[in-house]
Amino acid sequence: MRLTFENQRVLAVVAHPDDAELLCAGTLARARADGAVVGVCVLCQGDKGQPQPPLENLVEVRRQEMTAAAELLGAELLAGGFSDGELFDDSASRQTVIELLRRFRPTLVLAHAAADYHADHRAASQLAEAASWFAASAGQKTASPPLDAPPALWWMDTIEMISFVPQFYVDVSQLVDVKRQMLRCHQSQLARGGDADFSPLETLLLRQCQTRGAQAGVQAAEAFCTHAAWKRTRAW
């Protein structure tokens, strides 16, 4: 069996600059190889992830890092500009995300799982869901015109695969190296090894896609669930 992404426009909506690498970059690369247009929308600036010694221009550095990673993937980068730890599903934030979605015009959105470990991931999950609905609603005015239809929505795996029961797996066996190369663009974060809330990211990335692969009979995989809701679920 194989899922094909041709004619799709696939947009990952993530909380922080390095989340797509860990959770869905292989799937985006697969989609691109199928001819899909792919994008990454990073909602937060990564402004609270300071290495030691701190970088004065951390926001700018992280912007460059995520730009480089998106280029490796051949993905359009969209930036929400929110502050880390300040992400909420409120009216103003929805407007911002609706407009970002209308610029990319996705047919499929990849969003954080509702129960991921970080409050920003959970807020990003709620925002991606609500905004991708309202993006197709003519009554919700922003600078860009509404989408033709609400995009499909898939929930991504959680960090370290906790509290996430996969519904299906995408084979990314040939794309592990892309994920690693993208991750290595985030030098400011790889230098944070000593922080209380930081872990060796490359080890984590490999463990996760190899374990998901072992669960699905391939070398590496990414795991997803579909958003089961009216006009959001698709027959394949």
Given candidates 85, 177, 187, 193, which one binds a copy of itself under the rule CB under 8 A? 85
Given candidates 33, 59, 136, 190, which one binds a copy of itself under the rule CB under 8 A? 136
Burial group, residue 33, by CB count within 10 angstroms (0-12, 13-18, 19+)? middle
Cis omega (within 30 of 0) on the bond before 166? Answer: no
Longest CA–CA span in the chain (Å) reads: 51
- Return the number of the residue (6 or 56) whose C-beta is nearest a copy of itself: 6
Sign of CA dihedral 204, 209, 212, 213: negative
**Residue 193 interacts with a copy of itself (CB under 8 A)?**
no
**Cβ neighbours of residue 71 closer than 8 Å, sequence gap 6 or more:** none
What x/- string results for residues 165 through 184 when contact with a copy of itself is judged by CB under 8 A? xxxxxxxxx-----------
- Residue among 76, 64, 88, 2 at smallest CA distance from 36: 76
Which stretch in 43-51, 62-70, 74-82, 179-187 sits in contact with a copy of itself by CB under 8 A? 43-51
- Return the number of the residue (143 or 235) whose C-beta is nearest a copy of itself: 235
Total residues contacting a copy of itself by CB under 8 A comes to 81
**Residue 163 interacts with a copy of itself (CB under 8 A)?**
yes
